Each structure stands twice: as C-alpha cells, then as structure tokens.
A and B are shown apart, each in its own frame.
Chain A
C-alpha cells in the first residue's frame, strides 16, 4: 500500500491552497479529486473577488484557479483526478476508487476539503427536468458553454442568485425575473444594482407555488407570502419558463467526516451540520483536518485561507517546521486574514443563496 505524509481530499480552492501551503514547507502533498478536472467550483466563477489585494481580490475566480494550479505544479504537489475517496479506515487509510478501480493509501495526516452541494427547494413539480440549482446553471454556461434554457426564472436574491443571473446574461440568456420570499434583497447591493441596471425585475415576497409541464418545465406559478412566509390565497401569478434555477443555499458535504466519526455540530448560519474544528482546522480526530465549504459555507477566498491554515498546521505537526513563535505567528497571520475577510463580507455572505 502506498504511504504518504499528507493527503488532501478535494482539489477546489481550499484543497489546492492547503496542499500548496504544506508543500511550500517541504511536505509532499497528494491531492485526490473525483472530477476529471481540478479546481472545484473556481473555474465557473468568472466575476471579480472581494477582499484585499493579498487575498487576490479584483481577480476573477478562474484566474485564481489557474494561479493555484501553477503554484501547485511549482511546489511539486501531486494531483490525482478521477479519484473518489469513499471511506477512511482507522483514521489513516483512505479507500479510493481510482479510475473505476479500488485502491488504498495510508496517510499520516488528511485534510478534507470536500466542498458543498446546492440545496433543493420542494414544491409540486420540483423534480421536473428544468428545475436545477443556480450553481448547476452557472456550471453549464461557464464550463460546458451550453445554456440551461431560454426562459429562466431565478429563485433567491442572495449573492449566488444575483451572480448567476448576471453570468446567464453574459452568456446571452435573459432571466425573466428573480424572486425571493424575503421582503428585501438578501445579496450585496453591488450585485443587485447590476441586475437592476440590466432591467431584470426582482420580485420580493413571492415563492414558487408549483412548476408545471409534462416532461419538462413549461410554466411556473408563483404565490405571494406574508411576513411569516405563509402563502396568501388567490395571489398566484404565472410565467412561461423552461428553467427554474434555485439559489436557496448550499449545504456542506460532510459525508466523509460523518462516516469516520468526526464530531459535527449544527450551525444554521454556516449551512447546517459541520465538523467541529479548532484553531488549526483540526477536527475531533487528531490526524484529520477540514477546510473550505465543508466547515461552513462562506466564499472561495475564505476557503483558500482556511486551506492554507490547515496546510501550515499539518506541516508543523508533521515536523517540517518547528513549532515556535515564528510558525505560530504565521498561523496567526492567516487567522487575521480570515477575520478581515469575514468582517468585510459579512460571515456567511452566500449562505442564503
């Protein structure tokens, strides 16, 4: 069985940053990702990031992705694609489906950076083809370069809803409207302003009553809600649409952490159940660390800093750097970047979509 010092699960912004940080200090890091391309959700993010310059603000997500991949190469990080981790035994042995074949790898330290999944919203007709996550629509237009439909309605006025609506516009499809059950737009003003300038109505206090269609979505019926989100009878309006995009939040992908017995706790603002981590991003199992969306839904820039923190902490605990005032200061610097980002953006900025 292959033995390594550090395995990082997930080649998204968190996993890449973790492996680069560890490799900078001499740890030979192995990154496993189930996809056939690295980068996680980064390459579909074609907007400019917020934050400070050091945190690559003003740079578009896919450019950051390219930078991270170049750095990983420079520092000799090994990335294995089409490798899905399906379990972890005795806290150190990873069970992997490597290109359709089973294999095992033993690691001294493991950093889980599994990302998140989009939340669904249940209403009659929600399983019809044409109802999809907003992130799915974003993936389709920006990665696969195919539009999800021609007549789209976006559910959720949080940052994901606003950003993806704009991405759809850039891809040449006009979103008919953005709706939200809330009484105010939940995303940032800058994103909402762009949408309003493009002439797309944002309809508040409405939710989806049902989706209609035989083999796919043909129509959506909306209904008004009161302050406690109860439906108000006889307020239905309908739109002819072929796609309903749901931007109603993400939930952390905690399956692996849960399976190995990391302690989880419930944090509604961060997306639900998340693994408990300490100031080193270490879970309740000594050799297992976690970072990025799976420890709470925030943003890619935060995922990267969390990844760096976990990578550096592993380099220290593996003995590649001594645990002294200097290395503690380096950890502290990353933590202060994190709190700056969180202050600037409002923690959990994209949590509600």
Chain B
C-alpha cells in the first residue's frame, strides 16, 4: 500500500508509471521507487532465499547496510534492492543463494 495523503509531507502525487520484470512477470512501479519499495508496494516481501537453508529474506534495514534485501538485477547478482532505484524495463530476479552472473550483453 502506498502512502498518498499525509498530514505533514506533500501529497504523493503519482509519478510516472514504469514497468519492470520480476522473474519474467511484468510489474508496475512508480518512477523514484527503489526496487525493494516497488516490490513491497506490490505486496512482495521476499527479496532472496539463503544459500544454506533456502530461507526467505526481505527488507531489514532499508538503508543499504544489512544485505538482507539482495536481488539479481539485469544479470548482476547481490544488488541491494533497498537503495537501488528501479528503472523501466529492469529484469529483476528473486535471488537464490549467491545468485549467478549472466552474460552481459
């Protein structure tokens, strides 16, 4: 759920809509979202699964410090989703373990 009206902060006027891909599925986001906030706004809380026990992890610190929110972006693993702005057409993968580097084109 997005915070639109606020007693102190400005109205969160709807920014330009963009589309990114999560494991191939097209998902809508707003320009200015981080990857993690865009996922959360779409009700997705899991960013990755751990290497040893395949346990889910999501946002913990939201300031780029704890590495719980790592995802694979455009073939590059271990990107901190909470501090990386989401871009139109981005390919995001919920990361499994250490993730995998894909051939960069």
Contacts and interface: CB of A to CB of B under 8 A. Distances in A.
B26 to A, nearest CB: 19
Contacts of B37: 140, 144-146
Contact of A132 (B2, B61, B85): B61
A34 B80 CA distance: 12
A39 to B, nearest CB: 12
Contacts of B103: none
A216 B46 contact: yes
A131 B60 contact: yes
B1 A140 contact: no
Interface stretch (A122-130, A187-195, A319-327): A122-130
Contacts of B57: 127, 129
Contact of A117 (B7, B61, B83): B61
Nearest to B68: A127
Most buried by A among B12, B57, B60: B60
Given A215-B46, A216-B45, A216-B56, A133 B3 contact: no
Contacts of B64: 34-35
B61 A35 contact: no
A135 B62 contact: yes
B62 A146 contact: no
Contacts of B12: 145
A141 B37 CA distance: 10
A201 interface: no
A278 to B, nearest CB: 28
A131 B5 CA distance: 25
Band of interface residues on B: 20 to 34
A148 B2 contact: no
A146 B3 CA distance: 5
B59 A136 contact: yes
B83 A36 contact: yes
A60 B6 CA distance: 15
A129 B65 contact: no
Interface string A195-218: 000000000000000000001100
Nearest to A170: B7
B3 A145 contact: yes
Given A46-B9, A140-B37, A170-B7, A132 B56 contact: no
B33 interface: yes
Contacts of A150: 1
Contact of A118 (B9, B40, B61, B82): B61
A172 interface: yes
A130 B69 CA distance: 12
A202 B37 CA distance: 29
Contacts of B5: 172
A146 B40 contact: yes
A120 interface: yes
A171 interface: yes
B3 A139 contact: no
Most buried by A among B47, B63, B83: B63
B46 A140 contact: no
A132 B9 contact: no
24 contacts: A36-B83, A46-B9, A120-B60, A128-B56, A129-B56, A129-B59, A130-B45, A130-B58, A132-B60, A132-B61, A133-B61, A135-B62, A136-B60, A137-B62, A144-B34, A145-B12, A145-B37, A146-B1, A147-B2, A150-B1, A171-B3, A172-B3, A172-B5, A173-B1
Given A144-B62, A172-B5, 9 more contacts: A127-B55, A129-B46, A130-B45, A133-B62, A140-B62, A146-B37, A170-B7, A170-B8, A216-B58
Interface of A: 34-36, 41, 46, 60, 62, 117-118, 120, 127-133, 135-137, 139-142, 144-148, 150, 170-173, 215-216, 253
